Amino acid sequence: MKILKYFLFLILIILIGGAIYFGTKDGKFDVAESKIIEAPAEVIYNNLKDYKTWQEWGPWMELDPNIQINYAEKTEGEGASYSWSSDHMEVGDGSMKTVKVIPNKELDQEITFNTPMGDSKSNVYWRLEETGMPGQTKVTWGMKGEQSFMEKVFMAFQKEDMETGIGIMFQRGLTNLDEVVKEQMETFSVNVDGITEYGGGYYMYNTTASNLSDIAAKMGAMFGQVVGYMEQNNLTRAGMPFTIYNELDEANGTVIFSTALPVKERVITPSGSPVICGYMEPVTTLKTTLRGKYENLSKAYEKAKSYISENNLQEHPTAKMFEVYVTDPGAVPNPANWVTEIYIPLIAPPTPQ
């Protein structure tokens, strides 16, 4: 009996010691992982703000493809929420609610895990920060809270601590998010709209010669010069920016092109002005629309040229082809939504008698 008595006393000491150890152990945690993503903050935020998009990049989907997700009536903005249920130990059951939103910058959420030891609540936060490089964003995904006594005991017997497990999960999620965003930004489409009459009109422009590979690099500064001239002279823009290809030598990879902005009427410019006024005659064209990055323009031209050949159309011998930039990249951050209209002048088919 003495041995049993001492044994029970020893167990009591261990239990008391364990209770003191886990009771005094700091259970606070703040785990955050960051990743630089080559995308504007708005594009990334659009993949975070609505819980219905989380299944496209959420790391828990890889752990349990059979996870059951229930969406609330509101899934975006403050007060939005959803819940999930899973038999997978690392996923479990829980819910999340959005408590604060600063569009394109911050998201604060409250997450609740339903465990056999009771509900456990923590705070989840997202931060989107500019890096100083155009089109690049630092994305931080974090979670902070405090473990209960039983959670501290439970985690003490796991292979990895709580912070490590959360960090690995967040790293995987950020990598998935990066891939989803890149795929979205690479999406493009080309549509040959058909023969259309372009009305022409006056425009302010400047011109330069360039290698084909340098067009994009030069175009920005050239448009800036035209815009600056118009602002200095209080000239009102009458349409979207466009580029005219005056001479194109594909064999030697060179081009002479003009960047232009439409105006309502003729503008007399002083001699030697770097920006002058031009006029485009109304012209019959084949219109083709590209939705996506400008680097896909070559594919749009290929499709347009094929259409011309297949339909026995004739390109105009003197009128110049041009591109109209329907969307402003500064206002439309996702390049998949940029719209460019391509116009190839044609010899108008004879009017049926």
In the chain the domains, ranked by start, together with CATH numbers, are 25-186 (3.30.530.20), 189-345 (3.20.80.10)
pTM beyond 0.85: the answer is no
Q: What distance in Å separates the CA atoms of residue 42 and residue 115, rounded to the nearest whole number?
A: 35
Least confident of 156-160, 164-168, 258-262, 336-340: 156-160
Q: 126, 104 in Cβ contact below 8 A?
A: no
Whether residue 21 has pLDDT greater than 70: no
pLDDT in tens, 290-300: 999 999 999 99
Segment 147-161 mean pLDDT: 47
pLDDT in tens, 59-81: 887 888 888 999 999 999 999 99
Average pLDDT over residues 72-96: 89
Least confident of 33-42, 78-87, 188-197, 299-308: 78-87
> Per residue in 236-280, pLDDT tens?
999 999 999 999 888 899 999 999 999 999 999 999 999 999 999
pLDDT of residue 117: 61
pLDDT at 222: 96
Which pLDDT belongs to residue 4? 44
**pLDDT given at position 165:** 81
- Average pLDDT rounded to a whole number, residues 284-309: 96
The mean predicted confidence, pLDDT, of the chain is 87
The string of pLDDT tens digits covering residues 191-228 is: 999 999 999 999 999 999 999 889 988 999 999 999 99
For the chain, the three-class secondary structure string (H helix, E strand, C coil) is CHHHHHHHHHHHHHHHHHHHHHHHCCCEEEEEEEEEECCCHHHHHCCCCEHHHHHHCCCHHHHCCCCEEEECCCCECCCCEEEEECCCCCCCEEEEEEEEEECCCEEEEEEEEEECCEEEEEEEEEEEEECCCCCCEEEEEEEEEECCHHHHHHHHCCCCCHHHHHHHHHHHHHHHHHHHHHHHHHCCEEEEEEEEEECCEEEEEEEEEEEHHHHHHHHHHHHHHHHHHHHHCCCCCCCCCEEEEEEEECCCCEEEEEEEEECCCCCCCCCCCCCEEEEECCEEEEEEEEECCHHHHHHHHHHHHHHHHHCCCCECCCCCCEEEECCCCCCCCCHHHCEEEEEEEECCCCCCC
- Mean pLDDT is lowest, of 67-76, 117-126, 143-152, for 143-152
